[in-house]
Structures are given as C-alpha cells and as structure tokens.
Structure 1
Amino acid sequence: MIFPLEAVHRVNVLVVGDVMLDRYWFGEVERISPEAPVPVVRVARREDRLGGAANVARNIVAMGARATLLGIVGADEAGEQIQALSSEAGVVARLVTDSALHTTLKMRVLGRQQQLLRIDFEQTPVKASLARIEAELSALVAKHDMLVLSDYAKGALGQVEALIRIARHAGVPVLVDPKGHMYKRYFGATMMTPNRAEMREAIGHWQTEEELASRAQALRTELELEALLVTRSEQGMTLFTQNGREHIDAQAHEVFDVSGAGDTVLAALAVTRAAGLDWGDAVKWANRAGGIVVGKLGTSVVTAGELT
C-alpha cells in the first residue's frame, strides 16, 4: 500500500476544537528536597509543543496536507505561543481570543525522560466566544475538504451540534474525536473515533466481539454515522460501517509515550480519506501513524516520510 502523497498535497482540512499548549520542563534529579520528600528537578531545557486540536492540525501539515485551525485561547503568553507555533508549523491559525479565560496549558516536569508532575491550567470559554467559533466555521467550512472536530471537553465545542449541521449543509464530511458519553451531541457526523474507554462509557462493557459489534452498529445507525472507529490501544482498531466489521491489529512498536496519539490517528484519517481512500485503507494508514507516534516522547507528529 503506497501513501497517496500527491493526492494528500491537494487536501485542505479545517480543524476545530480545544487547542492547548503542552509545555515540557526537562531536567535532572540528583537529590530529594530538604523541605518535603519530593525530588528536586534541576531544569536544563524547556520546550513548548502544540496540543489538542492544534496538534491534530500540526500532524495534518506534517503529513503533507494543508490545515486551518479554529479554536479559543486567552489573552496571555500561552495563547501567543500557540499562534506562533502554529505559524511555525505551517498551520493557518484563526484563533478566537477570550480575555476572560486562561489558555489551556499542560505543564509537564520530567526528570531523566520520566514524567514526574503535570500541572493543568484550564477554563471554560464564554458563550460569545462560542458564537464567534460558529460564525468563523460558517465562513470557512465550504473552502475545505474535511472538517475535524477535536473534543477534549474544555468547552470550545459546546455548540458542536450546530457545527455539524453547518458542515453537512455545506456538503463537507465531519470527523469527530469525541469526549464523554453524550454521543447524541455528534449526531450526523461522518465518522467518530472513540477510544476503548470512551466507547465503554457510551455503550457499556462488552464481553465478546459479537456484543461489541452489535452495540457499535446500533450506535452508528442511531447517530447516522457513515463509519465508527474504535481505537483499542494494544488491541489495534476496529472499524464499523454498513459493510460490517473490519479489525486491524496494532503494529508492533515499543510504546514510549501515548500523549497525542489520538491526534495523530485523527489527522491520518482526515488526510487519507480526503485524498480519496476508502475507510478501510484510511484506517490502515491511521494505525500505522499511531504505531509510529507512540514511540516518541511527548506530543509529537508523524511525517509523510515516516509513513512511506
């Protein structure tokens, strides 16, 4: 199977959702603090990376397509950094600034390549910011081949039902990475990509593959989805369409860090499907991309060169 790079170069994807900044402080641990029984990390290097929906957009560009990013940030340093990193990555960022909130920031402290601590800053955006997202999407969606909705439950997709309706009216397919169990919010999307835990939240625990298939197909029909992909970590991925069930085993790779792996899978699905591949082949490329990215430290990307 050859990666359709020439067709991917023509793909233009609109990514909407919860953008965040992943901040890493790398250091060495050589002693325990005299103030409390905790390690002292002497920070030697700092690095900021795009996270959430911004990481999806960055992966899309790394794979050779074009991406426009629509999300909400605060009027702060982290928001400015997301804008700067997006431009540096080749992502067209159309960020809505909400002065009432702090940009979603995940700060990780690592010692000897092991994560010791994570500190999260996050707030819910105001309704006025959501209205601006809806207006921007209405103006942009018809100029794109695919809409990707990246939901991390931070509030940027509080009106997701309206966004899906707008895209459907424009004839643009919608890929959703969902959050929580209220999947009726995503009614009318083209494809949804819950992970194993999220699927259990939505349909309950299953005992057999037949039981999973029955419940998954019922959910797909209820939500009028064209496809439903359940990502299952070391068990691979299972695709459900009107043609039935197709399972793809996970590729054998050493798992170093799963941060952002779902973003990479979503990006690969978007670019390959928009490039003309059927769902089965698109999932195979997404599986390959996910297998590569879990071997990297932190929120990372997979390039077209690595896929080929």
Structure 2
Amino acid sequence: MIQEAKDLKGLVSRFRKKKIMLIGDLYLDEYLYGTAVNISREGHALESRIEKHEFALGGAANTANNLKRLGAEVTVIGVAGDDFVKNILFAKFRQSRIKTGSIVIDKKRKTNHYIKIRGKAPHTGYQLKELLRTPQNSMITKETELALMQKIKKSIKRMDAIVVTEQMGGAITQGLLARITSLANQHNIPIIGDSRSKMGAFMNFSFITPNDFEAAFALEIPGLNMADEIGKEQAMLIGKRIVHELNLKGALITRGKDGMIMFNRNTMFSLPSYADEIVDVTGAGDTVTAAFALALAAGASPERAAVISNAAAAVAVKKPGTAAATPKEVMEVLTHVKR
C-alpha cells in the first residue's frame, strides 16, 4: 500500500512541464453572489445585496486551467469573439499564466459566456438561482476551422497528449474531430475527449472521460431523461458498449458521489469517490479529464491514471465554483487512498 501511494505520487511529480494541447469550447464564467434583504416594490421581486462578483475560466478554458495548475505547459486552441467578454477571458488566461496566441478570433461570433447567479437568505449557504448564457453559437465556419487546423498542425509534434473538450460552444466540428484524430494517431500521441453533446462523434480516440449520463446519451439509450439516475449495472453495460462502438482504448466514466469506472477493451474496475466533503461539483469533470490526460502523458497505466483523476476530483469538489487541484493537493489525497 505504501509503495503504491509512493508510485502514484511519483507519477504526479512527473506532471511538471508535460506539453498538453487543449482544443475546445472556451467560456468565461461570471458569478454573482447575493444575500436576500427585501421584497422589491417593483413586481414584488426578491431584492438581494451583491456580496461578491467574480469571473472564472469555464468550459474548455477551465480544463486548461486545471492542466496548468497541475503543472502542464498548455497550448490552448479555440475560438473567441472580438468583444468585452473575450477581453476578460484573456485577462483570466494571463492571470493563470496561460498563453492565448493559438486562440482564433472570429469577429462575427460572440465569446461563450455563462452568468451564474447564486443567492442566499441571511445565515444560510449560497444556492444557484439562475443561469444565463450568451445565445448558443452556431458551428464555426470552414474558414475558422482551417485557421484552427493551422494552429494545431504548428504545435502538435511536440505534444505529450491532446485533450478535446466539447461544451456546445460550436468550435468542435465533425471535420475538425476527424483531422485531429488522424494527426494524433499519425504522431502516436494519446488523445483524450470529453463532450456534453457529441461524445458519439469521438471515434478512434484513445480515451474519453464522460459522466454516465453523457455516455448513455452518446449511445442514444431509449427513454433517457435528464432526471434519470443511472445505476452501476447499467453504467457497466454502457461503458463496455461505448468503448467498442467508438473503437477506443478505454473510457473513464464518472458517476458523481458513486465514484468512477475505468473501462479498457477487455477489462474494467470501479473506484469509490475519494471525496470526504462536497462543496461544489462545478467543473469537477474538467479536473478529471485534465488529471487523466496528464497521468497518461507521465507514463501511467489507464488504471493508475484513473486513481490519480479520482484524487484530483476529490480536491476540486471541496472548493466553490470552477476549481482546480494542485499536485500537492492530489498527493495528499493519494496518501490516504485505500485500494
């Protein structure tokens, strides 16, 4: 057990300076926190006092931030508009010491933007009250797709791993996926995918990291509703099927409080959640994807990469908002892991 923890922590220590390409839908997350103080005379609306207003990297940008916090050198490839949201997004990238030179600016698009309003009564905790977003962007043009491919081709040869994150922002087209996969396989670079709505299009990837609902949605399971809870037996069947149907090396399927299951072509194993406290699950899937990709880049087996990812997720869910884990925090969790 002691040797296992030592080996896992050794892999985490090798995250530093691994070169990861992150391709995906970039978002700016904006948070407003308020405390209810009165009922307004204007329409009897609840009047709240703004306690805090902050911005964070969201969507694929949060995955990039997780990669950076874990020690990687990150090349971010995506699309942004030419607007005030982009300016704030780029400022947050600079704050995280992530370069923006490979992000394509499309003046005809709006930068993806979520506004998350969290409110509370006095002496209670914050709860999400309203979620606003910019109008969903259409898919990028062929011209923008070609510009992205030029950025990808310029840097791909020196990468240790590639992460593709689709968050319904319009940047990840079928053509782009096919070209990225071909290049990754040509250069023998592991390619890891995560997607809200297009997981079924991630054919021939090395690994994917969906949650159980996203995996079921990709397989078009009949009668599936957003409120449905997927049991372990069903998740096991889904995992086996998606690995074979998408021709993957494996899939790491997350199951919230029930942990995760790692599927390879012919084997699988389950991990319980390592989280002893859950404050906010926002962005925890991004943390899992980042840690899994970095662990593979550092030479971990898929099974060990899953254990490390599970530890990283346990760190992230203890923090409010879109959070990230550090190597030190992940190592601390791994010290206490019992397998």
**TM tier relative to shorter chain:** over 0.9
Between the aligned partners of 2:137 and 2:231, the Cα distance in structure 1 is 39
Is it true that 1:114 corresponds to 2:121 in the alignment?
Answer: no
Aligned with 2:43: secondary structure? coil
Q: State the partner residue of 1:60.
A: 67
1:119 partner amino acid: L
- Which runs of no fewer than 5 residues in structure 2 stay unpaired? 121-125, 332-339
Residues 17 and 302 (structure 1 numbering): CA distance in 2 closer, same or farther, change over 3 Å? same
Q: CA RMSD in A?
A: 2.0
Deviation at 1:5, TM superposition (A): 3.9
The correspondence for 1:88, drawn from 86, 95, 98, is: 95
Shift of 1:209: 5.0
1:293 paired residue number: 316
**Preserved CA contact (<8 Å) 1:253 1:292:** no
How far did residue 243 of structure 1 move? 4.2
Name the aligned partner's letter for residue 107 of structure 1: I
Q: Which runs of 4+ in 1 moved over 4 A?
A: 205-212
State the 1:10 CA deviation: 3.3
Q: Distance in 2 between matches of 1:167 and 1:85?
A: 29
1:144 Cα offset (Å): 0.9
- In structure 2, relative to structure 1, the CA distance for the partners of 1:210 and 1:295 (3 Å cut) is closer
Give a deviation string over 1:100-158, Cα, whole Å, max 9, x none: 11111001122243222221014223332222112211111111100000011211111
Q: Is the 8 A contact 2:212 2:235 kept in 1?
A: no
Correspondence list, 1:70-219, <5 A: 70-93=77-100, 94-112=102-120, 113-121=126-134, 122-124=136-138, 125-158=140-173, 159-180=176-197, 183=200, 185-203=201-219, 204=221, 212-219=235-242
What's the secondary structure of 2:14's corresponding residue? helix
- 2:303 maps to amino acid: G
* Aligned position for 2:335: none
Pairing 1:296-307 to 2, within 5 Å after superposition: 296-307=319-330
Contact 2:115/2:131, CA 8 A, preserved across alignment: yes
- The answer to whether the Cα contact below 8 Å between 2:213 and 2:230 also exists between their aligned partners in 1 is no
Distance, in Å, in 2 between the alignment partners of 1:127 and 1:25 is 36
Letter in 1 for 2:53: R
Equivalent pairs: percent with the same residue? 26
Post-superposition shift, 1:277?
0.9
TM-score (structure 2 length as normaliser): 0.85
Structure-1 separation of matches of 2:67 and 2:14: 13
Structure 1 segments unaligned to the other structure (5+ residues): none
CA distance in 2 between counterparts of 1:91 and 1:273 reads: 21
Report deviation, 1:167: 1.7
Deviation at 1:257, TM superposition (A): 1.5
Q: Cα offset for 1:87? A: 1.8
